[in-house]
Chains A and B, each alone.
Chain A
Amino acid sequence: MILDKIRNFSIIAHVNHGKSTLADRLLEETGTIDGRNMKAQLLDMLELERERGITIKLVPVRMNYTAGDGREYILNLIDTPGHVDFTYEVSRSLAACEGAVLVVDAAQGVEAQTVANSYLAIDLNLELIPVLNKIDLPSAQPDRVKKELEDIIGINADDAVSVSAKTGEGIADLLERIVRDVPAPSGDPDAPLQALIFDSVYDNYKGVICYVRVVNGTLQPGKNIRFMATGRDYELDEVGIFRPDMVKVSELGPGEVGYIAASVKSIEEARVGDTITEARRPATVPLPGYRKVKPVVFCGFYPVEREDINQLREALEKLQINDSAISFEPENSAALGFGFRCGFLGLLHMEIAKERLSREFGVDLVATAPNVVYQIVLTNQDIIEAHKPSDFPEQVKTEEIREPFIKLTIFIPEQFVGAAMQLCQDKRGTYVSMDYITPERVRLTYDMPLAEFILDFHDKLKSCTKGYASLDYDHIGFRTANLVKVDLLLQDEPVDAFSFICHADQAYHRGHAVVGKLKELIPRQLFEIPVQAAVGKKVIVRMNIKAVRKDVLAKCYGGDITRKRKLLEKQKEGKKRMKQVGRVSIPQEAFLAFMDVTKSEEK
């Protein structure tokens, strides 16, 4: 393979700016997929991705393209997720590329993630090709958007390519530009092997399949390879490329993107970001990897049926192989039994993991309300990390509680500035700056507790700005805050899974709302259930769920007892799907009551 005929690139874009559709057009234009086999958003492999119209998982694809100069090129496109939760995955894709196509919606202009992703790419020394998409729209304003690109991001947008991924206009130009502007990879086929693992998936037959970008040397089946992080050696079973389905090849040389399978059994042995080298002639240094990403949002996953704990563990292990950003460790809840405290990159990430567990692995689970990590300074000056409310020590032993903060950047049309500022204020945000990036659009910056952000900030911002806002955030460390732990008691017993942390000023308000919501969600049972919220020993809210007073339908006609029994069995099945906490049956939704409450506040 001649290096100067390879072009490795990613497409980066703000959510909904048309990245997946553009990728579809590139595949068509290069004949990688013919129109008949085309389904929309082809590279979004997960059912969930197509449903939600977002990209979560990276999918690489190799295209052959004969350029205007008559030479044939290999274009490797490494797709990237668009949601702010997955910024980390974007940086992984970018590390395997020399260039990036920066897609901007010609009607909407530069958005928060356009900026964030551009800077990621620039940081990694990638060549940026600005592309204005959706130029077929009557509302497209290419000149305004070009000016935004120059003013806000600071890149030269004079020769931005204008395309319509919908109609196919400009796609040919874009391919030419990729060949012309994305630098060819450099690398030495004879040097010791160095290949970067930028993603992995698990296959039941082949074990862990690593997505790799070869930098130096070559990968061939039969070779003994070594994972530099663990030092463990494996024989290479198979190497191949993505078209976009996996196709075996005889070797992968420098600059190439493909996959390898080496009967690796667990994700821990082949970490994303690790470097593969040859066992016989190892490279002296690994490629620069990525720092292991730290989960910022935690919640408990518990099987509905206690005996399904191993099924849940296996499902989480498999999910982690496909999504290494998920962390989990066993935990034990007095109310819910054994389960796992799982860490995620954000709320969307968490929801997707939960949905994949139930869809792909058939796991029936209860998720507790999400929370962030807190730092607690004890009276003896020790600092502990609390990943869940029950990690909180007694109030008397606590000197200080610190919570994680983010720097939040919001792009909005100027008529929504008031609403957005009000929202930030309500969410305990601290104003940092506001500037007009164009006469109509404003960039707002706030420091905000992550806990407030993860709850529902994104949804609320969208609704108070009619969907016109975009946002991005960075973690900026821990700050002291006046926080309390609110316990929920059912029949006078605290239910640890319902406890939550909030600002002292909001304890009554949120406690009241959660108790009210639980009263609504927990069905009447054969006994009265007092529901209370308490801070420390002090009860701040109390309501009662009255006992069910009638549940009998006498009809059992003509001695048809089998039918009656089946109805009772069905009723019992319904109850089985609820979680038993003491004598009380609690429906799964109730464990997310805290979130429901804050979401319904805006109504």
Chain B
Amino acid sequence: MSGNANPFEPPAGGLSLYLHVPFCERKCPYCAFESKVPSEGEKDLWLEMVERELHWWEARIGRPSLATCYIGGGTPTVLSGPEWARLAEMLESHFTFDADAEVTVEANPNSLSADHLLFWREWRTTRVSIGVQSFDDAELAQLGRLHTAARACEAISASLASGFSVNADFMFGLPGQTFRNWARTLSQAAASGIAHISLYQLTIEPGTEWGSMPEDELSDGYLPYRWAQWYLPLKGFGQYEIANFAKYGHESRHNINYWKEGDYLGIGPGASGHIKGWRYKNISGLSRYSGSLKKGASAIASGERLKGSRRASEAAVLALRMKQGIEMEAFAQKYGSDEESRIIKLLEAFPEDLYSVSGNRISLTPKGMRVANRIWSELV
């Protein structure tokens, strides 16, 4: 278990992997991610294509060692036991894993089974991230989730019992969500034994079932977020990032790697990756994704390499997601002192209670995190 390793060190092996499972049992009405209910044969097709994509990469980067691995979706628990076995075997044959590698799998309370937990325990999994969303049955029904609060509790208990470090995702800013409901959900979460909590605000994305809902019917999310920032640290969950709270030592190294501009491969349709300053995005849609791979081509749809100020700005924005903020000396070394002073000057134009300077670091205060979008948009 990744236990007490300092999460803010770069991954020892230096590489992370994100693997996207583009399937779910039912499409949620707010979801804009790459995901669909699989039709006959699609899961096999996907596995086959992931294999091809892994081959494509191996031909270029060899068989690197992974510091972290994250299998997300979609709903990875729609994969059956044998499908999981095949997937794990593929990963084992194309990568090695660091001894303390953090391996996270996402699970849906409805489809998480004892078989899944058993297999994951056997196969180097350290974290399970559960899409709980709410402990209120009415809210879950409204969100179109297939599980109940009771089912979510069972999933958490079973995962904990299997010895995993457990994360749960929760959503706030739902239409009709009362403050009482939210506070109850959080207090239940804090007492459930999990070590990590991710909070997401509902956003209305075009093209989803809820896409035509007028956005101004949603609350601004201030109260639930503000509450979480006050309440969760009291219960031992520090806010180490805009959306993430964790007990000490249970911060997600995979996540932190994103914000520290670490390298990560993105595998699967619509996945994103970043290698040495180059960001890429895979082709979306299983059929177009596999079409390209079948021809022997790559799965990459587009890529870009930011330079100069834009790259420095992006790095600053990413770093400011974290409580740790920007480590200025290292920043200056990487991007030059001109960029360092530009970023400092931009930040200093903000009201003083939004950012803090401590030693060599500049970071957002909890109040700054609440308005981070405004601050970031000045920096890009």
Contact = CB atoms under 8 A, between A and B. Distances in A.
B18 A554 contact: no
Contact of A560 (B242, B281, B318): B281
A279 B226 CA distance: 82
Nearest to A548: B371
B370 A559 contact: no
A437 interface: no
Interface in B248-280: 258, 264, 266, 271-274, 279
A562 B281 contact: yes
Interface string A535-567: 000000000000111111111111111110100
A122 interface: no
Interface string B140-176: 0000000000000000000000000000000000000
Contacts of B350: 526
A385 to B, nearest CB: 40
A72 interface: no
B373 A549 contact: no
A527 B349 CA distance: 11
B225 A550 contact: yes
A559 B18 contact: yes
Interface string B189-205: 00000000001110100
A554 B264 contact: no
A561 B203 contact: no
Interface in B68-92: 72
Given A548-B374, A560-B272, A565-B317, A554 B380 contact: no
Nearest to A552: B372
A549 to B, nearest CB: 5
Given A552-B242, A559-B18, A526 B266 contact: no
Contacts of B271: 558
B305 to A, nearest CB: 11
A527 B374 CA distance: 12
Contacts of B321: 556
A568 B376 contact: yes
B374 A551 contact: yes
A553 B203 contact: yes
A587 to B, nearest CB: 15
Contacts of B375: 526
Contacts of B279: 561-562
Interface stretch (A138-146, A231-239, A469-477, A569-577): A569-577
A583 interface: yes
B230 interface: no
A526 B225 contact: no
B56 to A, nearest CB: 19
A559 B354 contact: no
Contact of A562 (B33, B225, B272, B377): B272
A498 to B, nearest CB: 23
Contacts of B72: 558
A549 B220 contact: yes
Contacts of A563: 272
Interface string A348-376: 00000000000000000000000000000
Interface residues of A, number: 27
A581 to B, nearest CB: 15
Contact of B222 (A549, A555, A559, A575): A549
User: In terms of DSSP, what is the predominant structure of the interface of chain B?
Assistant: mixed
A120 to B, nearest CB: 53
B378 interface: yes
Given A526-B351, A561-B258, A583-B349, A555 B203 contact: yes
Contact of A559 (B200, B272, B374): B272
Contacts of A548: 371, 374
A559 B371 contact: no
Q: How large is the interface on B (under 10, 10 to 19, 20 to 34, 35 or more residues)?
A: 35 or more
Residue with the greatest number of chain B CB neighbours at <10 A, chosen from A525, A568, A569, A572: A568
B1 interface: no
Interface string A87-119: 000000000000000000000000000000000
Given A548-B371, A555-B203, A559-B258, A568 B377 contact: yes
A571 B226 CA distance: 23
A550 B371 contact: yes
Given A527-B351, A549-B222, A561-B258, A555 B272 contact: no
B26 to A, nearest CB: 19
Contacts of A575: 377
Nearest to B242: A554
Contacts of A526: 350-351, 354, 371, 374-375
B370 A572 contact: no
Contacts of A565: 314, 317, 380
A575 B376 CA distance: 13
B336 interface: no
A42 to B, nearest CB: 42
B243 interface: yes
B363 to A, nearest CB: 14
A551 B373 contact: yes
A514 to B, nearest CB: 25
A569 B201 CA distance: 21
Contact of B243 (A527, A554, A558, A568): A554
A569 B274 contact: no
B318 A552 contact: no
Given A549-B222, A553-B203, A554-B201, A561 B376 contact: no
A550 B221 contact: yes
A555 B242 CA distance: 9
A556 B371 contact: no
A554 B274 contact: no
Contacts of B281: 560, 562
Given A550-B220, A551-B373, A562-B281, A572 B258 contact: no
B304 interface: yes
B369 interface: yes
A527 B354 CA distance: 10
B20 interface: yes
A550 B368 CA distance: 9
Contacts of A554: 199-201, 242-243
A557 B201 CA distance: 13
A588 B283 CA distance: 40
A106 to B, nearest CB: 49
B376 to A, nearest CB: 5
A410 B33 CA distance: 63
B58 to A, nearest CB: 21
Select the residue from B18, B20, B371 with max chain A CB neighbours within 10 A.
B371
A546 to B, nearest CB: 12
Nearest to A527: B351
A527 B20 CA distance: 41
Contacts of B199: 554
Contact of B272 (A550, A561, A568): A561
Given A553-B203, A556-B258, A562 B374 contact: no
Nearest to A550: B222
Contacts of A569: 377, 380
Contacts of A583: 349
A180 to B, nearest CB: 65
Interface in A332-353: none
A-B pairs, top 3 by smallest CB distance, nearest first, are A554-B243, A550-B222, A571-B377
Given A549-B370, A558-B271, 13 more contacts: A526-B375, A550-B225, A550-B371, A552-B373, A554-B199, A554-B201, A558-B33, A559-B273, A560-B281, A561-B272, A562-B304, A563-B272, A569-B380
19 contacts: A525-B374, A526-B351, A548-B371, A549-B371, A550-B226, A552-B242, A552-B373, A553-B203, A555-B203, A557-B33, A558-B272, A559-B18, A559-B274, A560-B272, A560-B281, A561-B258, A561-B272, A562-B281, A583-B349
